[in-house]
Structure 1
């Protein structure tokens, strides 16, 4: 649903999983790991 509470998509459980996995892939590609959250010392 969007911010106006209108349905924008309906998925089966299998389709929901696939959509969420694609969303997570997309998020990782735009915001790669933050180097400052790593435990490894870069220096």
Structure 2
């Protein structure tokens, strides 16, 4: 409905991607999974 001309995916990563409290900020945790996926797509 939003991207009729493109294949896309929504990655719901907010829960593991962000820390609160004294160490608040982005964790970068989802990045390795995203890179692994993208590299596998390029290798095809």
Shorter-chain TM band: 0.3 to 0.5
Which has a greater percent of strand?
Answer: 2
TM-score by length of 1: 0.36
TM-score by length of 2: 0.36
- Bigger Rg over Cα: 1
